[in-house]
Amino acid sequence: MGSSHLRPPTAMAIRARLGFVILLLLFFSATLSAALYEDQVGLADWHHKYIGKVKHAVFHTQKTGRKRVVVSTEENVVASLDLRTGFIFWRNVLGKNDDIDQVDIALGKYVVTLSSGGSILRAWNLPDGQMIWESTLPVSTPSKSSLYVPANINVGKDNLILVFGGSSIHALSSMDGQIVWRKELSIDSLEIQQIFQPHDSDVINAVGFVGSSEFVVYHISYRTGEVMQQSKASFESGFCGEASLVFDNLVVALDASKSSLVSISFKNEVINFHQINLSDLVPDFSGKVTLLPLKFNGMLAIEIASSIHLLRVKGANELEFVEKISHPFAVSDALPLSKEQQAFAILQHEESKIHFKVKSDNDLRNEILKETIQMDSHRGNIEKVFINNYIRTDRTHGFRFLVVMEDHSLLLIQQGEIVWTREDGLASIVDSTTSELPVEKEGVSVAEVEHNLFEWLKGHLLKLKGTLMLASPDEVAAIQAIRLKSSEKNKMTRDHNGFRKLIIVLTRAGKVLALHTGDGRVVWSVLLPALRRSETCGNPFALRVYQWQVPHHHAMHENPSVLVVGRCGHGFDAPGIFSIVDSYTGKVQNSLMLEHSVSHIMPLPLTDSTEQRLHLIIDAKLQAHLYPKNSDSLKHFFNEMPNIYWYLVEVEKNKIRGYSLENKAELDTAEEYVFQAKELWSIVFPSESEKIAVTATRKMNEIVHTQAKVVADQDVMYKYISKNILFVATVAPKAAGEIGSATPEEALLYAYLIDTVSGRILHRVCHQGAQGPVHAVVSENWVVYHYFNLRAHRYEMSVIEIYDQSRADNKDVWKLVLGKHNLTVPVSSYSRPDVMVKSQSYFFTHSVKSMAVTATAKGITSKQLLIGTIGDQVLALDKRFLDPRRSVNPTQSEKEEGIIPLTDSLPIVPQSYITHSLQVEGLRSMVTIPAKLESTTLVFSYGVDLFFTRIAPSRTYDSLTEDFSYALLLITIVVLVAAIFVTWALSEKKELKEKWR
Amino acid sequence: MKLALLLFFLLVSNFLPSSLAAPSSSGDGYTITGRVKVEGMTSKGFGVSSKLLNAKIILNGGQSVTFVRADGYFTFHNVPAGTHLIEVAALGYFFSPVRVDISARFPGKIQAALTENRKVLHELILEPLREEQYYEIREPFSIMSFLKSPMGLMVGFMLLVIFVMPKLVENMDPEEIRRAQEEMRTNFLPGSS
């Protein structure tokens, strides 16, 4: 009887506990997620590999087995691609100054690259890309150099590779890269144009020009480099420097006036010139003339006024016009089909169609192959084509075309079809921004994603097995597959956590692409017509991309749009280009050529009534142009005009100047949106001792959660938070070069904090013996910068934190109660700030390519620094390690606050590389985007590769991780409920027994 | 540190590639030759060469970049006299940057030291300080870890309540229990009494 009264409370207690424990459980599972586990790779991150715009391509298809194409690109990448799929077998990214001049295959097993203006020759193993040898050629002046790898004349013997450029020829052994011989043809201003080897001979012929009017032929021994024969002749009217080898003894060159061709025949020391007027050859000849390097026997291709003319060379003075191909087009190099036969391809663009023609030298009038394919218009025109042949089953020749398009993409075309496409423009991203996805429409249920409860539970049971390490390898694979193909992350709608977004990138080719953050796929892409080469703009140049319209309250039915700013030419006074692109569809809404130049673009924190963001464009004449040009934006702008201050950093002049805006006196209607700059202040750095190395500011959209920082012993410090802080680092001019060029005594680094409204220098600090390169990041009230310490010969990172002293006495409660505080006084840049600065320096191991800081939606989460290291990895480093209040022995209260004991160098924990075991080759920049979930930041880093992930600097304290096992939770609840009933039944039974007793 | 062994260069670097540096036959600079060695660190089952396939050697923070050859050797040409920094970027390993001094006064004299721990190198043989593990390692399943987890604690607590509590109650004197119940009733329901 007695126990019966107690038991129901026990069961109740269990029930009460249950709720508590579940809470506890949620809490625990949420905080348990630490760094990445290996099986979590690819859940929240993606990594795409690119190579860049292809400059040269060499096919390797002779042998059976893997068919590949070796390419070199403008991003200094040498790569081997699978010819069937376009996948990268291997690639090597050379240094940023190590431009690849040429690539070829030697001995059928080595890829040979010539780079750095003809001074470095490297050989790479064809199957795996391992470097075999490297050779540095003593080239006095970097000049246009070329590589000549003789076709296997004697297979088995050590073939020589010839490198020529300027007046020197080097012959290197293709086995080990040793220089076998070197010939400096001791004639000033000699430009060797071409080296060639007549069939089956040990003599190579080198032809070139001396100065502008002399033509030289050398016969050089292939084995020793001895000059066996040399002949020279001069031509009165001179050459312009372009020449094309037509036969083994005939060169056709352009004369100095570029109006006639000169055929130069040379045989046994006799050189004959024949001048042929172009106007005689080509009907209606006019315009600019260039010779195309065709390397085709008996053929000559000249480009006249952007159309191509094919000429057939019959003899020394007999040229015949064959065909005219109008722009846009591309011509491939010649491809030997057999010993006597050569072929080449002409590609011609006609709106959305591309015509492929392959011609052989036997019959120039007719084509071996003629195909036409459809091409998306957003790839632009053809830039380059490389051809390769294969023998079909019926013993005829088939051709493959490797095509480089205007947007830098790479395509393989075979039998009239596109076999594969690589979007390699993404290797050269110039700028990026983000856009929210559309809101989910009603009627599309989220629940459909989870097919049914049973499937869902089964999935979670599998996951449970996985976490308990009970799963078999098959099941592990199944779990991985379930997680990776989760359709949730790739949907085209906005999600609750703000993980799904569009990253809108602008590439150097002038293409805008939208990437989905879920898997990095291209949602849409558009090659901006305004940024394409045209008659009006010969050299367009993509600059930046900004958010133009973000519908929020007013224009909800409209799609958001981005603004792409470009420049017509590289000079600062070149006219600007504007393009507005719809973020959801990629449609160009508006495109205009500006009448003024673009030297500085300022997105203002103002929008007009249709939520278009106001932008000020500062031109080279220091006039500010307001966009969008409508009266509504003007009205909003006038309200804020007195508060607009801006500055310009003039690195060449070592000057920083601050400006405000004023109305122009004369008010024309056209000039309504133009304002005049009014100089307010200027800071001139003494050019004999300082040179501006880097400037950094806070991100305009950064959100700071709290102004106050509670430190140990209940004290409060007020952060000096100002949007107008500019960090400037200057270095001594002597030490402005690379590391190793200056001694510690010569090197000095000054760090400045400048208020950009008043031009006041808030703080200045000098680092003795330090030099650049400097990388800096500013956030909240702190700056972190990375530089090289020459005395310790290590990299260093310093932190400066600024605190507002004028508010420091607001800690008194009584003052707050009596209203004697100054908390309501607005922070103004005009009032003389009373700031306190704390700083500290630490050693850091690696060179840094780029730095960024995490950004979250509300700014509550603690910050992490993102450091792009020289090894192309991205390291996340807690800001707590860069806290100037760190000391060697923190007190107990400081430890509770989370202050880490001071160490002389910053720790590098391998698990905190957010790129884990991947490399973002050629890393250039990292962009942080706050998610809606406060704990999480999205990180997009780009270089040659793209990498995206999301990180939680203080772990995901506000949501369950994807790993959370709902099944385990359910099972526990079921077991507990069952236990309640069992105990209840047991107690009833016992009670009955007691009563019977 | 001061007692660093002065290394002598060899005039022809190609004969003995393990030498630190050699004045190149032409041009104004010197040649630095070194070797990257990863031995006994193939616990992951990768061969040395395949692991070092992508190892890049970086001079002065990117001034020039070269690659490791199959045998582990690398060379920089035309390096002027002065103090330089060499870094090794190899995925999976942590290499200390190396400070390399090329003396201008005694052409041929070279010093090298790791910047991380100031260890002087007699030969430019670069070895990783440690292997880098980029992933957290999952703890294998064990009874203790399960018991320590919230679920385990909950199950344990439940078992305790079911099996131990009745025993405790049984051991109590029935009189006492009744008294306790009376007390509770009076305490919790003072209005009804």
**B134 with A919: Cβ contact below 8 A:** no
Mark yes or no for CB contact A131/B67 under 8 Å.
yes
Higher pLDDT, A825 or A47: A47
Has residue A783 got a pLDDT over 80? yes
pLDDT confidence bin for A821, thresholds 50/70/90: low
A372-429 pLDDT per residue, tens: 888 877 888 888 899 888 888 888 888 889 999 989 999 999 888 899 999 999 999 9
pTM reported for the whole predicted model = 0.85
The strands making up A575-582's β-sheet, listed across from edge to edge, are: A540-549, A561-568, A575-582, A588-597
- Find out whether A130 and B36 touch, Cβ atoms under 8 Å: no
B116 → chain A, closest CA residue: A845
Question: What's the whole-number mean pLDDT along residues A511-530?
Answer: 90
Instruction: Give the pLDDT score at A920.
Output: 93
Residues of chain B with pLDDT under 50: 1-26, 41-50, 191-193
A95 touches chain B (CB under 8 A): yes
Range name among A556-565, A972-981, B100-109 with the lowest pLDDT average: B100-109
Segment A24-33 mean pLDDT: 39
Question: Where residue A564 falls among pLDDT bands split at 50, 70, 90?
Answer: very high
In this prediction, residues A17-39 reach a mean pLDDT of 49
Predicted confidence (pLDDT) at residue A32 exceeds the cutoff of 60: no
Confidence class of residue A153 from pLDDT cuts 50, 70 and 90? Answer: low
Q: Does the distance separating the beta carbons of B162 and A979 come in below 8 Å?
A: yes
Provide the H-helix boundaries in chain B: 48-51, 143-148, 150-159, 165-171, 174-188
Q: Do A916 and B135 touch (CB under 8 A)?
A: yes
Q: What is the pLDDT of residue A150?
A: 75
> Which position has the higher pLDDT, B102 or A278?
B102
The model's confidence at residue A851, banded by pLDDT at 50, 70 and 90, is: very high
CA atoms of B188 and B140, how far apart (whole Å):
50
pLDDT at A620 over 90: no
Q: Choose from A248-257, A277-286, A857-866 the range with maximum mean pLDDT.
A: A857-866
Q: Does B66 touch chain A (CB under 8 A)?
A: yes
Q: What's the Cα-to-Cα distance from A926 to each of A867, A915, A922, rounded to whole Å?
A: 9, 12, 12
Closest CA of chain B from A917, distance in Å: 6
From A1-5, A414-418, A507-511, B72-76, the region with the lowest mean pLDDT: A1-5
Please, which pLDDT band fits residue A765 given cuts at 50, 70 and 90? Answer: very high
- The pLDDT tens digits of the residues spanning A659-687 come to 998 876 555 556 778 888 889 999 999 98
pLDDT at residue A23 in the model: 42
% of chain A surpassing 70 pLDDT: 87
Q: How many percent of chain A have pLDDT more than 90?
A: 26
| A41: nearest CA partner in chain B | B135
| Interchain contact A857–B (C-beta under 8 A) | no
Residue B78 has a pLDDT of 85
* pLDDT over 50 at A25, yes or no: no
Task: Say if residue A449's pLDDT is above 50.
Answer: no
Residue B6: per-residue pLDDT: 30
User: What pLDDT shows up at residue A881?
Assistant: 92
Q: How far does A586 lie from chain B, in Å, by closest CA?
A: 37
Say yes or no for a CB contact (<8 Å) between A34 and B136.
yes
Residue with tokens 């190198």: B121
pLDDT value for A140: 67
Give yes or no for a contact between A24 and A989, defined as CB atoms under 8 angstroms apart. Answer: no
Distance from CA of A2 to the nearest CA of B (A): 6
d(CA B184, CA B166): 19
As a whole number, mean pLDDT of residues A202-226 equals: 82
Q: What is the mean pLDDT of residues A177-195?
A: 79
In A, which residues are within 8 Å of B157 by CB distance? 17, 21
**Taking residues A773-779, what's their average pLDDT?**
93
Average pLDDT value for chain A: 82
Q: How far apart are CA A422 and CA A47, in angstroms?
A: 15
Q: What is the pLDDT of residues A903-947, one digit of tens each?
A: 999 999 889 999 988 999 999 999 999 998 898 999 999 999 999
pLDDT at A710: 79
Q: Are β-strands B125-126 and B30-36 bridged in parallel, bridged antiparallel, or unpaired? A: parallel
Of A875-889, A981-995, B16-30, give the lowest mean pLDDT range.
B16-30
Maximum CA extent, chain B: 111
- Binary contact (B116, A845; C-beta < 8 A): yes
| Residue A613 pLDDT greater than 80, yes or no | yes
State whether the Cα torsion B165-B170-B173-B174 is positive or negative: positive
**Min distance A870 CA to chain B CA atoms (Å):** 7
ipTM of the complex: 0.81
Among A773, A913, A917, the residue with its CB nearest the CB of B61 is: A773
Q: What pLDDT was estimated at residue A339?
A: 72
Lowest model confidence (mean pLDDT) among A273-282, A502-511, A934-943, B183-192: B183-192
Longest CA span, chain A: 135
Contact (CB<8Å) B134/A983:
no
Query: Among A272, A207, A265, which Cα is nearest to A235's?
Result: A272
Indicate the range of A204-218, A457-471, A750-764 predicted with least confidence. Answer: A457-471
pLDDT confidence of residue A17: 42
B-chain residue closest to A873, CA distance: B91
Start-to-end CA distance of chain A, whole Å, equals: 10
A1 vs A746, residue with greater confidence: A746
